[in-house]
Chain A
């Protein structure tokens, strides 16, 4: 699978010999109409909401809705009032902290469980491992929106309602299947011979896992980790259902339920909240674009 996921590099590297394939057959005006114009429209539509989010979050209140005197697409005298309001007069910093703690904890928990499970399924090949593999794939297809009602009852029964544990323990239900599936692909690409050598030398399975398999699958671990982090950062329905008190909320739930007051929508601070809440995953994404792409396509392709 490593081969499959790194194919983008491989094929682009392979193509660089005959630069651009048959692109030279096309004339420039045709390329503008067929390629650059549609691409520009796509990029504009896909990015405009972010621009609108950003520009709204720095607009002073009187410019927000006054489209006649101020161009809505630009801002005169940008202000940080909305962000200051968020950080100092609401529970926003607490929500950020909660989300961070929950995302990191559930990611670590899921990746550890997934490494062991993927190694067992892919390499130990115990009796019934194939069926367990299929089961893991099916578990990946179970959506949170049919699980949240019974899970709410469970969470209540265990006495973890309205605590971070409620989310740390339930997020792995969608993280473990995903990470296991991804890591199975990575482990499959590591040659059996390495393991056999170690076995002959008398290494235990745990030693093989920690000293041979894991160092060789670092890219897979990073992919699984950042992807799991993003998924738990973005999760909404469990966080909405299992958390009651304002100070325990996560960013997506907090912004939606606490910043929206009955009549007056404070669009400036809402947009600032959305922007700040997106930043951590966007920054993470910008550092690991390739891993994101490979984990996304890898999970689909296997």
Chain B
């Protein structure tokens, strides 16, 4: 770092365009340009403009739309809680809530368990470690829609490779109807989601594992601990803060998932795999009922808020543990 610093200042001095000594505070503009508060707002301007226009405003607009009967091509009027009353009696909506919670809970638990296991494996010393770490992340890098299409083919009713392999091994008689049967479809989309989510959890937790000092394990080993005790009393407590954050992100993205369901089942069979996000899309865009779709999307916000609060306290705890600033 020190070398870099020298290099930078040497590189700059010969240009000599910057006048030596204090610049005289000339015009108003110049004074404002040296005021960090003004300059800060100026620097924030592009990002703030984009975010306010395309994020904050739509967020409010979305909630507002939930209270209107807007349709595609027709501005709506305020109808109070009608959309929400309609949703309250809508069995499809409640089915989608059930599906979303099932999907999120099961997939998150599996992602956490398998991801932590994979992280522990990758944390061991072995040949080609960097290579393994690199290829493990691939499912996460590839566009979800495109890998979901591959899963669609793997789950094909007639030519599924899984059905074929199991039949060859003599484990099953007939093909598995992966996406056509209510519960099969649910487990199939969960499996695809877990497949895509494991790398993120594993690589993030691996980064956390590598910050744990090796000496703690050595000391514990000398004290005669079992591997399970070392995991339970060293790894887990030191990893908890990062687990909290990683899992909050994972839960957040699983809860609002759209692409995988849209590719694999479009909510079928008979709405058995509709998540709140896909139902909201179906009602709003192909269905044309923007107000109703927005109301369903708005209903997701309380869940997201609780996830964010969870994350916030996870972060606080981490800062405190590191004795960090603010």
A residues sitting closer than 8 Å to B (CB atoms) are 4-5, 7-8, 11-12, 15, 18-23, 25, 35-36, 38-39, 42-43, 45-47, 49-50, 52-53, 56, 64-65, 67, 72, 109, 112-114, 116-117, 119-121, 124-127, 129-130, 132, 138-139, 141-154, 169-170, 172-173, 176-177, 180, 191, 193-194, 197-198, 201-205, 207, 211-212, 215-216, 230, 233-234, 236-237, 240-241, 251-253, 255-256, 265, 267, 270-271, 273-275, 277-278, 281-282, 285-286, 289, 292-293, 296-297, 300-301
Contacts and interface: CB of A to CB of B under 8 A. Distances in A.
Given A154-B58, A270-B149, A39 B132 contact: yes
Interface of B: 1, 4-5, 8-9, 12, 18-23, 33-34, 36-48, 50-51, 53-59, 61-62, 65, 70, 114, 117-118, 121-122, 124-126, 130, 132-139, 141-147, 149-151, 153-154, 156, 158-159, 161, 164, 195, 198-200, 203-204, 207-208, 210-211, 214, 217-218, 221, 242, 245-246, 249, 252-253, 256-259, 262-263, 277, 280-281, 284-285, 290, 293-294, 297-298, 300-301, 304, 307-308, 311, 326
B40 A150 contact: no
B138 A205 contact: no
Contacts of A18: 214
Nearest to B48: A117
20 contacts: A11-B211, A18-B214, A109-B50, A117-B48, A120-B39, A142-B59, A143-B252, A144-B258, A145-B280, A146-B256, A146-B304, A149-B297, A170-B54, A173-B50, A176-B51, A191-B1, A204-B34, A255-B149, A274-B149, A286-B134
A64 to B, nearest CB: 8
A139 B125 contact: no
A205 B39 contact: yes
A255 B256 contact: no
Given A116-B46, A270-B153, 7 more contacts: A52-B161, A124-B37, A126-B44, A141-B304, A153-B70, A216-B8, A251-B143
A300 B206 CA distance: 12
